[in-house]
């Protein structure tokens, strides 16, 4: 006997009643779709954003470079203002309260006395002199980028008072102002140098990678030889041959060229190896089969593929350049006195006996280390994000 | 094996020749010669230069000959062990640089040893404890080491040694040994002073080494043979010691080529700050006074150190790594 309720019936084949559309594509979640459709650079940005430390370092660098545009406004004194009454004055600390009474940010005036026994300059805080720090005030006159002259500063000392937050140097110049001005040279020298070596590396590496064969072998050997030179002695030798009579601008340019001379090799190597591996990819063969010219293949298909790597590795070699400039200027064979850079400032700290007496001369070390650290972290983040498809 | 070594040594010769040519060009570039800067120096002191003496000096040192003749003279002299004459010290270059070069080599080797001893356990820990607090902390410390330029570190250490301990850590031996011949006491004194420059020069290299070694170990640890060994029940530390560690040792030996140029560069700068009796301080003064043979020989020796160091590390690698030995070193 058969009933309609046999087990076969409960397992009846399911047929969807919806109309069948052979052209329909599997739907994917909108988030995933956004991810698939995003461009390479967008993916990189998303990946970089995850790297908090790198983003933070990047912002820090952005602010740092931003300040170089307004050094004149930010620095309390002019770069070359000399206060002969306050030579080697120690840093003044900012106070808010005097005798338990709120006054606002101020510094105590300093009294100067020459110790006649050991001829040491002695500065003491004078609690009777309360010098309130002024903000958005009129101070030393400066020439703003050759456009206008101004007197407006972010902070200035009280009228007739002093404001040496990081002390003064051998000529009574404010260290803080000089560090702010020095960042202009120290920070840009890395950028200019890396741009130079970036182009040099791309061209030489591109030639080696594209032509291959004998040219490649020769270029490889040259790079190997260049890399076996110890960097600092070679930089020392090259900058020692700069005539003393050159103007500051020429010396600045010469130093960037010297720094770029060795740095391009690693970039050229990266370009070459990337070109070699990408040349064999299918998309490249496809483009070739479709009749694309070499210039189009390189510019349109190959270059975008490894541009991100290059930018990342260029970022990672900026610190070497900044350090190179600092080291050379520190030794006195890089940039010289009328120019202000962190290395030039540190040159004053070369003598350990002076540093022990006036330790604040070593303070330019701090921005150097912070900048290098920020560049390394940011470059690391960039490098991790450079290949978003991994 | 032997053919490989011979080939590597032969390949070194053209490299050294190109380097010598570059060095010669660099020391020839500045306008004028030592005699001219010597005259300037005499005149600055208010003295008159004796033209006969100057002419004699010029002829003696062959400064009038064309550049290519002097280059060949210099190179052939170097092959025979004659490195030319230092104008400033008035004695043969080899006598000026002998001791100093020895100390530079000593410091470089000690620094590389230091780098290995410090970097190895730290990288091992970081790689086996990836993304732990210890790993993050050590990575940050390494970055800080990388970011602090070593000549500034030397300056900071000098300062604190002076302020805290009231001693000077500059120099490489106690002052009384400076001009004495080598003896046991002098060697002990050198060893006592050696750690400061070694630590200072080593920091940046150590930090870089830790990062590279860690990445290398992580690559190895993710490979299937490690999983297989673990799946068969080998205890964790044994897995580590048996396989990835051996690969890491190869890597460390091969990394000398990376490390050596930066160690030598660092050593020069730190030597100037700490006033060590190595090549650094003399090199810079030789460069500034255009004492060309002295400066040239220094540059030549420093690059030669790197080239020879890389050669040694390559040969050591062929002993350590059978893959290279069997390939006859076609691909490095």
Q: Which residue of chain B is at minimal alpha-carbon distance from A318?
A: B147
Q: Which of B29, B162, B295 sits opposite A352 (nearest CB)?
A: B162
What is the C-alpha to C-alpha distance for residues B1 and A148, in angstroms, rounded to an integer?
72
The yes-or-no verdict on residue B179 having pLDDT over 70 is no
Check residue B180 and give its pLDDT.
Answer: 65
Name the band, by pLDDT with cuts 50, 70 and 90, for residue A9: low
What is the C-alpha to C-alpha distance for residues B213 and B126, in angstroms, rounded to an integer?
10
Strand intervals (E) in chain A: 95-98, 101-115, 120-132, 134-144, 148-156
SS3 category, A338: coil
HSE-up of residue A366 (Cα within 13 Å, Cβ side) = 10
- The answer to whether the Cβ–Cβ distance between A355 and B143 falls below 8 Å is no
What is the C-alpha to C-alpha distance for residues B280 and B221, in angstroms, rounded to an integer?
42
- The answer to whether the Cβ–Cβ distance between B170 and A233 falls below 8 Å is no
CA of A197 to nearest chain B CA: how many angstroms apart? 19
HSE-up of residue B166 (Cα within 13 Å, Cβ side) = 0
User: Per the structure block, which two tokens stand in for B132?
Assistant: 């732990």
User: Per the structure block, which two tokens stand in for B327?
Assistant: 């390939």
What is the C-alpha to C-alpha distance for residues B193 and A335, in angstroms, rounded to an integer?
32
What is the C-alpha to C-alpha distance for residues B286 and A232, in angstroms, rounded to an integer?
15
**Stretch A51-71: mean pLDDT, rounded?**
87
Between positions 336 and 365 of A, the ones with CB within 8 A of B are 346, 349-350, 352, 355-356, 359, 362, 365
- The answer to whether the Cβ–Cβ distance between A323 and B159 falls below 8 Å is no
The closest of B256, B225, B255, B250 to B240, measured between CA atoms, is: B225
Task: Specify the DSSP element, H or E, that contains B85.
Answer: strand B85-86
Name the band, by pLDDT with cuts 50, 70 and 90, for residue B63: low
Report the residue of A229, A231, A375, A380 to disrupt the B interface, i.e. the one with the largest count of B CBs within 10 Å: A229
What residues of A are in contact with residue B151 (Cβ under 8 Å)?
A: 327, 330
Check residue A1 and give its pLDDT.
Answer: 43
- The answer to whether the Cβ–Cβ distance between B287 and A236 falls below 8 Å is yes
Most confident of A138-147, A297-306, B217-226, B287-296: B217-226
What is the C-alpha to C-alpha distance for residues A47 and A386, in angstroms, rounded to an integer?
9
- The answer to whether the Cβ–Cβ distance between A228 and B265 falls below 8 Å is no
CA distances from B152 to A91, A316, A334, A350, B273 (A): 21, 20, 16, 10, 9
Phi, psi of B32 (to 5 degrees): 85, 175
Name the band, by pLDDT with cuts 50, 70 and 90, for residue B329: very low
Largest Cα–Cα separation, chain A = 128
Predicted ipTM?
A: 0.74
Q: How many CB pairs under 8 A join A and B?
A: 121
CA of A10 to nearest chain B CA: how many angstroms apart? 46
Segment B285-328, tens digit of pLDDT? 777 777 777 888 888 888 888 888 888 888 887 777 776 665 54
SS3 category, A347: helix
The one-character DSSP state at A93 is P
The yes-or-no verdict on residue A225 having pLDDT over 70 is yes
CB A302 within 8 A of CB A324: no
The one-character DSSP state at B30 is S
The yes-or-no verdict on residue B182 having pLDDT over 80 is no
Report the residue of A226, A233, A317, A372 to disrupt the B interface, i.e. the one with the largest count of B CBs within 10 Å: A233
Q: Which of A233, A331, A355 sits opposite B265 (nearest CB)?
A: A233
Check residue B73 and give its pLDDT.
Answer: 78
The yes-or-no verdict on residue A212 having pLDDT over 60 is yes
The yes-or-no verdict on residue A110 having pLDDT over 80 is no
Q: How many CB atoms lie within 10 A of CB B66?
A: 8
The yes-or-no verdict on residue A2 having pLDDT over 50 is no
The yes-or-no verdict on residue A334 having pLDDT over 60 is yes
Check residue A62 and give its pLDDT.
Answer: 92
Who contacts A101 (Cβ-Cβ below 8 Å, separation ≥6)? none
CA of B19 to nearest chain A CA: how many angstroms apart? 7
CB B291 within 8 A of CB B220: no
Name the band, by pLDDT with cuts 50, 70 and 90, for residue A53: confident
What is the C-alpha to C-alpha distance for residues B284 and B297, in angstroms, rounded to an integer?
13
**Stretch A364-386: mean pLDDT, rounded?**
84
Q: What rounded mean pLDDT belongs to chain B? A: 77
Who contacts B91 (Cβ-Cβ below 8 Å, separation ≥6)? B85
The closest of A224, A204, A200 to A275, measured between CA atoms, is: A204
Check residue A199 and give its pLDDT.
Answer: 87
Of the listed ranges A103-117, A221-235, B212-226, the one predicted with least confidence? A103-117
- The answer to whether the Cβ–Cβ distance between A230 and B149 falls below 8 Å is no
CB B158 within 8 A of CB A354: no
- The answer to whether the Cβ–Cβ distance between B303 and A228 falls below 8 Å is yes
The closest of B253, B329, B297 to B101, measured between CA atoms, is: B297
DSSP states of A274-330 as a string? HHHHHHTSHHHHHHHHTT--HHHIIIIIIHHHHHHHHHHHHHHHHHHHHHHHHHHHH
What is the C-alpha to C-alpha distance for residues A313 and B211, in angstroms, rounded to an integer?
16
- The answer to whether the Cβ–Cβ distance between A365 and B155 falls below 8 Å is yes
SS3 category, A340: coil
Length, in residues, of chain B:
332
Q: What percent of chain B has pLDDT over 70?
A: 84
Phi, psi of A140 (to 5 degrees): -60, 140
SS3 category, B331: coil
Check residue A388 and give its pLDDT.
Answer: 63
Of the listed ranges A341-345, A363-367, B35-39, the one predicted with least confidence? B35-39
CA distances from B176 to B186, B190, B276 (A): 9, 12, 15
Who contacts B166 (Cβ-Cβ below 8 Å, separation ≥6)? none
Between positions 192 and 231 of A, the ones with CB within 8 A of B are 221-222, 224-225, 227-231
3-state DSSP helix/strand/coil % of chain B, to nearest 5 = 80, 0, 20
CB A162 within 8 A of CB A109: yes
SS3 category, A156: strand
A327 touches chain B (CB under 8 A): yes
CA of B278 to nearest chain A CA: how many angstroms apart? 13
The yes-or-no verdict on residue A335 having pLDDT over 50 is yes
Most confident of A3-12, A330-339, B183-192: A330-339
CB B257 within 8 A of CB B205: no
Quote the crossing angle between the two packed helices B292-320 and A231-240, to the nearest 10°. Answer: 160
Of the listed ranges A1-10, A222-231, B181-190, the one predicted with least confidence? A1-10
DSSP states of B42-82 as a string? HHHTT----HHHHHHHHHHTTTTS-HHHHHHHHHHHHHTT-
SS3 category, A133: coil
Q: Which residue of chain B is at minimal alpha-carbon distance from A227?
A: B261
Q: Which of B265, B272, B284 sits opposite A230 (nearest CB)?
A: B265
**Stretch A188-207: mean pLDDT, rounded?**
86
Name the band, by pLDDT with cuts 50, 70 and 90, for residue A60: very high
Check residue A71 and give its pLDDT.
Answer: 81
User: Per the structure block, which two tokens stand in for A240?
Assistant: 């020692």
DSSP states of B117-178 as a string? HHHHHHHHHHHHTTTSHHHHHHHHHHHHHHHS-HHHHHHHHHHHIIIII-----SSS-GGGT
Prediction pTM value: 0.78
User: Per the structure block, which two tokens stand in for B73?
Assistant: 């003279």
Check residue B196 and give its pLDDT.
Answer: 79
Instruction: Determine how β-strand A148-156 pairs with β-strand A134-144.
Output: antiparallel
């Amino acid at each position: 006997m058969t009933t309609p309720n046999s087990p076969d019936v409960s397992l009846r084949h399911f047929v969807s009643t919806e109309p069948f559309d052979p052209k329909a594509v599997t739907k994917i979640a909108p988030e995933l779709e956004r991810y698939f459709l995003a461009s390479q650079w967008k993916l990189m940005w998303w990946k970089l954003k995850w790297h908090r430390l790198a983003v933070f370092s990047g912002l820090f660098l952005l602010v740092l470079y931003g300040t170089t545009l307004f050094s004149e406004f930010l620095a309390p004194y002019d770069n070359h203002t000399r206060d002969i009454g306050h030579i080697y004055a120690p840093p003044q600390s900012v106070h808010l309260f005097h005798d338990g009474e709120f006054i606002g940010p101020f510094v105590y005036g300093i009294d100067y006395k020459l110790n006649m026994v050991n001829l040491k300059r002695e500065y003491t805080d004078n609690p009777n002199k309360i010098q309130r720090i002024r903000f958005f005030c009129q101070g030393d006159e400066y020439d703003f980028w050759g456009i206008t002259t101004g007197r407006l500063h972010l902070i200035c000392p009280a009228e007739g008072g002093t404001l040496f937050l990081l002390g003064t140097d051998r000529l009574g110049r404010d260290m803080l102002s000089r560090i702010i001005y020095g960042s202009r040279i120290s920070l840009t020298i890395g950028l200019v140098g890396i741009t130079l070596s970036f182009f040099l590396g791309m061209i030489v590496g591109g030639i080696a990678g594209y032509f291959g064969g004998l040219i490649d072998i020769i270029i490889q050997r040259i790079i190997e030889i260049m890399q076996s030179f110890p960097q600092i002695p070679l930089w020392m030798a090259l900058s020692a041959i700069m005539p003393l009579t050159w103007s500051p601008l020429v010396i600045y340019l010469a130093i960037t060229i010297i720094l770029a001379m060795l740095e391009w090799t690693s970039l050229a190597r990266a370009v070459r190896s990337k070109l070699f591996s990408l040349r064999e990819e299918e998309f490249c063969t496809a483009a070739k089969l479709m009749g694309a010219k070499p210039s189009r293949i390189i510019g349109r298909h190959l270059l975008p593929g490894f541009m991100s790597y290059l930018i990342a590795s260029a970022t990672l070699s900026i610190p070497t350049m900044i350090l190179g400039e600092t080291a050379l200027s520190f030794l006195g064979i890089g940039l010289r006195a009328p120019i202000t850079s962190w290395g030039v400032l540190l040159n004053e700290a070369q003598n350990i006996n002076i540093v022990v007496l006036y330790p604040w001369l070593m303070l330019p070390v701090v921005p150097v280390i912070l900048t290098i650290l920020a560049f390394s972290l940011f470059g690391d983040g960039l490098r991790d994000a450079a290949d978003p498809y991994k | 094996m032997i053919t490989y070594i011979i080939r590597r040594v032969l390949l070194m010769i053209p490299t050294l020749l190109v380097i010598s040519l570059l060095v010669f060009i660099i020391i020839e570039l500045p306008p004028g010669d030592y005699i001219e800067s010597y005259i300037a120096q005499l005149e600055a002191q208010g003295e008159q230069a004796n033209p006969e003496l100057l002419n004699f000096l010029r002829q003696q040192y062959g400064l009038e000959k064309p550049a290519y003749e002097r280059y060949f003279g210099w190179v052939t002299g170097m092959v025979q062990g004659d490195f030319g004459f230092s104008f400033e010290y008035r004695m043969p270059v080899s006598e000026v640089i002998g001791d100093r070069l020895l100390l530079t080599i000593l410091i470089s080797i000690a620094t590389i040893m230091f780098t290995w001893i410090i970097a190895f356990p730290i990288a091992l820990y970081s790689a086996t404890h990836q993304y732990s607090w210890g790993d993050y902390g050590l990575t940050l410390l390494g970055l800080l080491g990388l970011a602090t330029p070593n000549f500034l570190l030397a300056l900071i250490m000098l300062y604190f040694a002076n302020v805290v301990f009231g001693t000077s850590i500059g120099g490489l031996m106690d002052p009384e040994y400076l001009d004495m011949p080598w003896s046991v006491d002098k060697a002990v004194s050198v060893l006592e002073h050696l750690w400061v420059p070694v630590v200072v020069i080593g920091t940046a290299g150590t930090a870089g080494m830790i990062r590279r070694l860690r990445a290398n170990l992580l690559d190895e640890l993710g490979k299937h043979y490690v999983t297989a060994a673990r799946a068969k029940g080998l205890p964790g530390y044994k897995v580590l010691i048996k396989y990835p560690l051996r690969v890491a040792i190869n890597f460390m030996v091969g990394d000398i080529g990376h490390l050596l140029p930066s160690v030598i560069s660092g050593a020069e700068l730190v030597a100037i700050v700490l006033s060590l009796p190595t090549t650094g301080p003399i090199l810079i003064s030789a460069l500034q006074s255009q004492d060309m043979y002295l400066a040239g020989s220094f540059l030549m020796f420093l690059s030669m150190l790197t080239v020879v160091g890389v050669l040694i590390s390559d040969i050591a690698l062929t002993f350590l790594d059978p893959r290279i030995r069997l390939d006859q070193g076609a691909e490095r």
